[in-house]
Amino acid sequence: MKRLLIYILLFYYKLEFLVSRLCPYKKEESILIVKLDAIGDMIIFMDVAQEIRRVYNDKKIVLICNSVCLPLVENLDFFDEIIGIDKKRFLLNIIYRIRLIKKIINRKFEKVFNPVFARDYFYQDVLVRIIRAKEKIGSKGQYSNNNNIIAVFISNIVDVESISDSLKEKGDRYYDKLTEVSPDNLMEKTRNAEFCRQSINPFFKSYLPKLSDKLPFLNSFSSLKSKDYIVIFIGASTPRKLWKKQNYVDLIKELKGKNIVLSGGKGEGRIWDEIKEEYPFDYINNVVNLIGETTLMELFSLIEHAEYIITNDTSASHITVITRTPSVCLLGGMHFGRFQPYKVEDISNEDKRILPKIANYDMDCYGCNAICKYIKDKETTWPCIENISVEMVLEKIKEIENDKS
């Protein structure tokens, strides 16, 4: 039954495209960027976005992005128009989908850029197909994210890969140009620069952009003083990336005398509640719990004014880079080298010191793309995260303190 659903979905996409071609449209000299991935990806992309703004300064720049990124991109001066997409609703809610598509099918853009290395058929490529433009440029990239969507419908991995390969062939044809990609395991900033050099500026080098204005120290943090606290971001995109609860307890004990602020996403406060219940200890008075209590831009401010931050491999780690806040990142092996550690082509010695310090446990299965051969369920922490010790993190904190001195 699930297999039938995916074919019905593909038939709908074809019908949707044919109907869209019947709609009248108006040409405009605008540049459209399709960038539907998460907050961390958007932060990594900021230098290329700024370059697009510079090169096409006489054009209107339109961004279609994941709606979770809206608070960030609305505070940047790279874009003239922003269209946010709730990806889940775009995939599953037909009324929402039609309303959103109506916003773009009556326009013909000069260029469309989809710079994402890990493209997918269901969100990005079908959207690019519907959009009208003189030229559509994407990356040859890879389709691993596509596999994850298909796996919801089909359990046999051989069938998943076969269907995904077929869809990539279709998706490739929706572009006028696909940029070449290196076979090496490159950091995502280098991937973006690779795309930029082939489609926008052949001399571009990746760099670390800054927020245009320093974020104010918000009144909601009135009990704190700037640079007089440490942030521990205990949230993660999946329970499999969560560090041991005991490790958080031991780390906080080691940091006695420091003011500690806990942060994380909405719904992750239960993690701290469980820690307090299972491991009662004496240093809770030094801890301010702001888990789920900050907006995205408040989180930026909280991180910018911290002495340093300890975080999982999540958006908070990428925020530290553009706020120039020293940090320790607990990094597993699933995408090691792609999003972390940071590699930047044009960087000062001063900025090198604020790149996240990586605490990781080496395993021969690195690069598994989150398909763990040891852990099959979705709640158990991956062993590459589980085995990162408190001592490893403390060593990285010493490096931060040595950098300051």
Cis peptide before 341 (omega within 30 of 0): yes
pLDDT at 160: 81
pLDDT at 161: 84
| Equal fold, 23-199 vs 224-404 | yes
Q: Which residue(s) pair with 287 in the sheet?
A: 260
Domain locations in the chain as residue ranges? 23-199, 224-404
Q: CA 57 to CA 51: how far, in whole Å?
A: 9
- The residue among 82, 84, 80 whose CA lies nearest residue 59 is 80
- Categorise residue 225: left if φ over 0, alpha if ψ from -120 to 50, beta otherwise: beta
Class of domain 23-199: alpha beta
pLDDT at 214: 60
Burial class of residue 206, CB neighbours in 10 A (0-12, 13-18, 19+):
buried
pLDDT at 218: 63
At the fourth CATH level, which superfamily is domain 224-404? Answer: Glycogen Phosphorylase B; (3.40.50.2000)
Q: State which residues of the chain have pLDDT below 70.
A: 1-2, 155, 157-158, 212-222, 282-285
Q: What is the 3-state secondary structure (H, E, C) of the chain?
A: CHHHHHHHHHHHHHHHHHHHCCCCCEECCEEEEEECCCHHHHHHHHHHHHHHHHHCCCCEEEEEEEHHHHHHHCCCCCCCEEEEECHHHHHHCHHHHHHHHHCCCCEEEEEEEECCCECCHHHHHHHHHHCEEEEEEEECCECHHHHHHHCCCCCCHHHHHHHHHHHHHHHHCCCCEEECCCCCCCCHHHHHHHHHHHHCCCCCCCCCCCCCCCCCCCHHHCCCCCCCCEEEECCCCCHHHCCCHHHHHHHHHHCCCCCEEEECCCCCHHHHHHHHHHCCCCCHHHEEECCCCCCHHHHHHHHHCCCEEEEECCHHHHHHHHHCCCEEEECCCCCCCCCCCCCCCCCCHHHHCCCCEEECCCCCCCCCCCCCCCCCCCCCCCHHHHCCCHHHHHHHHHHHHHHHC
- List C-alpha distances in Å: 100 to 9, 97, 111, 112, 272: 18, 5, 20, 17, 38
Q: Which two tokens stand for residue 271?
A: 């993690």
Q: Under a CB-based contact definition with an 8 Å cutoff, are residues 208 and 322 in contact?
A: yes
Q: Under a CB-based contact definition with an 8 Å cutoff, are residues 294 and 263 in contact?
A: yes
Going 98 to 99 to 100 to 106, the CA torsion angle's sign is positive
Q: CA 118 to CA 143: how far, in whole Å?
A: 6
Q: Which residue(s) pair with 178 in the sheet?
A: 138
pLDDT tens across 70-126, in order?
A: 999 998 999 999 999 999 999 989 999 999 999 999 999 999 999 999 999 999 999
Q: CA 265 to CA 239: how far, in whole Å?
A: 13
Other Cβ atoms within 10 Å of 390 Cβ, number: 19
Q: CA 345 to CA 204: how far, in whole Å?
A: 9
Whole-structure pTM value? 0.92
- The residue among 387, 233, 402, 235 whose CA lies nearest residue 311 is 233
Q: Under a CB-based contact definition with an 8 Å cutoff, are residues 394 and 360 in contact?
A: no
pLDDT at 147: 81
pLDDT at 278: 81
Q: Under a CB-based contact definition with an 8 Å cutoff, are residues 309 and 231 in contact?
A: yes
pLDDT at 63: 98
Going 139 to 143 to 149 to 150, the CA torsion angle's sign is positive
pLDDT tens across 356-405, in order?
A: 999 999 999 998 877 788 888 888 889 999 999 999 999 999 999 998 87
